[in-house]
Structure 1
Amino acid sequence: MSTEKFWKELEGVHSAMLSIGSARHVPMSPYARQDDRAIWFMTAQGTGLVEAVTNGETDASLIVTGESNIHARIEGSAALVQDRAKLEELWNPVASSWFDGIDDPDIRLIKLTPAMAEVWLTTGAMGFAFELVKSKLTGKEPDMGEHFSLTL
Structure 2
Amino acid sequence: MTDTKDDISKVWELVDKIGFCMLTTQSGGTLRARPMSAYANRDENAVYFLTDVASHKDEEISRHPEICLAFADSKGQKYVSISGTAEIRNDREKIRELWATPAKAWWDNAEDPSIRILKITPSSAEYWDSPGTVISYIKMAAAAVSSARPDIGDNAKVNL
- Judge same fold: TM > 0.5, yes or no: yes
1:4 aligns with 2:12: no
The answer for the alignment partner of 1:66 in structure 2 is 73
Alignment equivalent of 1:89, drawn from 84, 94, 97: 97
Deviation at 1:135, TM superposition (A): 4.8
Letter matched to residue 58 of structure 1: P
Mapped contact 1:14–1:29 kept (Cα < 8 A): yes
Deviation at 1:130, TM superposition (A): 4.4
Letter matched to residue 35 of structure 1: D
Structure 2 counterparts to residues 24-103 of structure 1, below 5 A? 24-53=32-61, 55-67=62-74, 68-103=76-111
Could you report, residue by residue, the CA deviation over 1:43-92 in whole angstroms, capped at 9, with x for unpaired residues?
Answer: 11221211112x33210111111355531221100001222222222111
Query: Within 2, Cα distance between the matches of 1:8 and 1:45?
Result: 30
Q: TM-score, normalised by structure 1?
A: 0.85
- Uncovered stretches (5+) of structure 1, i.e. residues with no partner: none
Could you report, residue by residue, the CA deviation over 1:104-140 in whole angstroms, capped at 9, with x for unpaired residues?
Answer: 1111110010001121112233443443465578775
Q: Pairwise CA RMSD of aligned residues? A: 2.2
Going from structure 1 to structure 2, the CA distance change for 1:118 and 1:2 (only over 3 Å counts) comes to closer
Q: Which has the higher contact order (CA 8 A, sep 6+)?
A: 2
Identical columns (%): 29
Mapped contact 2:87–2:118 kept (Cα < 8 A): yes
Deviation at 1:27, TM superposition (A): 0.6
- Uncovered stretches (5+) of structure 2, i.e. residues with no partner: 1-5
1:123 partner SS: coil
Letter matched to residue 110 of structure 1: L
Aligned pair count reads: 151
2:73 partner SS: coil
Letter matched to residue 11 of structure 2: F
